[in-house]
Copies of this chain bind each other. A is one copy, B any other.
Amino acid sequence: MSTDSSEFMTPMMRQVVANFGEMGSRWGINRTVGQIYALLVLSEAPLNADQIGEALCISRSNVSMGLKELGSWQLLTTVHYPGDRKDYFNAPEDIWQIARTLVAERRKREIDPTLSVLRDALMQTPQDSRDAYAQKRIHQMHDLMEQLTQVSEEFNQLSTEQLTRLLKLGAGLGKVLDFKGKLTGKS
């Protein structure tokens, strides 16, 4: 048993892992979970729970909870080695696939329920002028969220190759838009 954790992380990895922990916590993901995932993304070989705990200096049970969370987000792959009963984890190779999964899960968990609350509010009969105005705003928010949702669905259906191409358009997006608007002649 080694007392340091340099067996699994180089200084460079450490910096990036720390940053992703920080970043996660700003986006409502607990720090440890962010660090575990960064570690798995950066490690070529799959790691088992003990190795993750040692690398990040966290308890075995904390690792277990973190992995459970990441698993529920569909962000892990697991492998097994003959003669070793431990589970070994890593992140998918395709980084864009990871992004797609994240977008899809967050939508399912956070956007969809909110859309449902907004729709409920829109079904109600306004009781007074405050409700009337509120409904106007709720309608705007609902449309905004639904449209962004549709775009994210599109996004998630593009292949990684298509996506790369789309994003390379870069500064041309506005132009493509104008062009397409004229082309179809719609609205």
**Surface stretch bound by B, among A56-64, A80-88, A154-162:** A154-162
Residue interface mask A1-39, B partner, CB < 8 A = 1: 000000001111101100110010111100000000000
User: Cβ of A127: which chain B residues have Cβ within 8 Å of it?
Assistant: 10-12
In the complex, A27 Cα to B111 Cα: how many Å? 11
Tell me the nearest residue of chain B to A9, going by C-beta.
B130
Query: Is the CB of A65 closer than 8 A to any CB of chain B?
Result: no
Instruction: Identify which of residues 145-176 in chain A touch chain B, using a CB-to-CB cut-off of 8 Å.
Output: 147-148, 150-151, 154-155, 157-158, 162, 164-174, 176
Tell me the nearest residue of chain B to A177, going by C-beta.
B166
Q: Does B42 contact A134, Cβ atoms closer than 8 Å?
A: yes
> What's the nearest-Cβ distance from chain B to residue A109, in Å?
8
- Name A's interface SS: helix
Query: Is the CB of A137 closer than 8 A to any CB of chain B?
Result: yes
Q: Does A110 contact B23, Cβ atoms closer than 8 Å?
A: yes
Query: Is the CB of A141 closer than 8 A to any CB of chain B?
Result: yes
Q: Does B151 contact A167, Cβ atoms closer than 8 Å?
A: yes
| 6 pairs from A and B in contact (CB 8 Å cutoff) | A11-B127, A16-B118, A41-B137, A43-B130, A44-B129, A165-B187
Further pairs besides A13-B134, A23-B110: 18, Cβ < 8 Å: A10-B130, A16-B121, A19-B114, A27-B27, A27-B28, A42-B137, A42-B138, A43-B134, A44-B133, A99-B144, A150-B167, A150-B170, A150-B171, A151-B173, A154-B170, A158-B177, A166-B177, A172-B180
